[in-house]
Amino acid sequence: MKITIIGTGYVGLVTGACLAEVGHDVFCLDVDQRKIAILNSGGIPIHEPGLDEVVARNVAAGRLRFSTDVEASVAHGDVQFIAVGTPPDEDGSADLQYVVAAARNIGKYMTSFKVVVDKSTVPVGTADRVSAAIAEELKSRQSALDFAVTSNPEFLKEGAAVADFMKPDRLVIGHANDTQGLRAQQIMREVYASFESAGHKIYWMDVRSAEFTKYAANAMLATRISFMNELANLADKVGVDIDAVRQGIGSDPRIGPGFLMAGCGYGGSCFPKDVQALVKTSQEYDYELKILRAVEEVNENQKHVLGSKIFAKYGKNLQGLKFALWGLAFKPDTDDMRAASSRVLIQELLRAGAHIVAFDPVATEEAQRVLALDFADAPVLLNQIHFARDAQTALSDADALVIVTEWKIFRSAELETIKSTLKHPVIFDGRNLFDPRTVKSLGMEYYPIGRAVLS
């Protein structure tokens, strides 16, 4: 099938590469010339394990190409996936300007029936807005061409995006039940035929329910994290090990083990903005989502939990102190810094006068870019942060190690080496990477999340 992907970011590039991998003829469009130039010169603009191989293989096979040519992109695909960003607007609602712009382009240039697929995470009712934008463009051209808008939200995780896309837990596709909607359903079935025949279930539903399903999934995952973080904070006060509790409850099949790790808050491009957007949707319908408001508030507080532990130990003035910071990305295996907890911590530490030597396996460049924006009001503070070339160098001469992202290499680090390289043997661990008893037995001070009783 001929498929166009509009927006070649984390989701669009993975979707395009993986749909080419199963044999489709894919055209990826982006307005960002830099991204397209990198891709056309054989590079990958993001860090995503395994993606480079899939892209290279399919470009070589002639099934995958990249361009900024809007007209050619509309002409190419019988199916047009919209995978552009939907960042939070100032009021927390999803900013749909990129989605609507993509829809307008389709309406402007289409010359045959198109199935338009909302792949971006978009609020309930967005398919109607996409339809209206296309219809308006068609009307201004006095064209009576048919099209159908479907919703096919994406559930991949950054860091495991290729594997998630190729072996999805489920596919959700929303379509209308009218003639064009049913025609679109048939075409979408062909798009995902190889997935369905490999046993990956497709849940067919109406468009609005599909749009809502994506928000419900992210809201549920965010809720589990904030729930555990709140309990972890209480666990520290009442003398309970939250990790033992996690295991104790996660073994109950009604609860399940996933997304129960306490830590220094969730970040990324999805959970924070999707929780906010769902809250905003509820307000538009004059209904209050009390649980999700709390989830968001708990998470914002949790991003300060490491800072609070550091201030509790050293006082509010951190001048003269140097912290080794392990992990900048919002989670491992990605260079994505959107809403990363590290950004909140860095603000707190630098503004309190501390020095930081940070290390992240892949996110350093992106971190430097976002920190320049975060500190636009006080760029001089950025003289207090440096970036090490490896994890051990960051430790050298530091008063304490602070762990923000659970990269595997940090988990397997030798505690003896950490101890001997730091100036003082102190670890603030925002991801509970180590067994507190082991750290303690080595004569180190350890501040994990919700495990104070053991440390």
Between 11 and 439, name the residue whose CB sits nearer to ligand NAD. 11
- For the chain, the straight-line distance linking the first and the last C-alpha, in angstroms and rounded, comes to 58
- Whole-angstrom Cα Rg for the chain: 24
- CB-wise, 51 or 391, nearer to ligand NAD? 51
Q: Is the dihedral of CA 77, 80, 85, 91 positive or negative?
A: positive
- Could you give the 3-state DSSP secondary structure of residue 94? strand
| Closest CB to ligand NAD among residues 98, 428 | 98
Q: In angstroms, rounded to a whole number, what is the distance separating the alpha carbons of residues 139 and 131?
A: 12
Q: How far is the CB of 1 from ligand NAD (least distance, A)?
A: 20
Q: Which residues are catalytic?
A: 270
- CB count in 10 Å sphere of residue 213: 18
Please identify the residue of the shown chain whose CB is closest to the bound ligand NAD.
9
Task: Tell me the sheet residues that pair with 324.
Answer: 357, 401
Rounded least distance, CB 119 to ligand NAD, Å: 6
Q: What is the nearest approach in angstroms of ligand NAD to the Cβ of residue 454?
A: 34
Q: Are 175 and 3 in contact (CB under 8 A)?
A: no
- Pick between residue 74 and residue 350 the one whose CB is nearest to ligand NAD: 74
Closest to ligand NAD by CB, 102 vs 279, is 102
For 364-418, the DSSP string reads HHHHHHHHHHHTTT-GGGGGGEEE-SSHHHHHTT-SEEEE-S--HHHHT--HHHH
- The CA distance from 115 to 187, in Å, is 8
Is the Cβ–Cβ distance between 195 and 22 less than 8 Å? yes
Residues lying near ligand NAD in the complex (CB under 6 A): 6-12, 29-32, 35, 83-86, 98, 101-102, 120-121, 154, 156, 158, 269-270
CB 173 within 8 A of CB 188: yes
Find the shortest distance in angstroms from Cβ 453 to ligand NAD.
Answer: 35
Between 138 and 235, whose beta carbon lies closer to ligand NAD?
138
CB 235, min distance to ligand NAD, A:
30
**Smallest separation, CB 267 to ligand NAD (Å):** 12
Structural element, H or E, at residue 102: helix 97-109
372, 346 Cβ separation under 8 angstroms = no
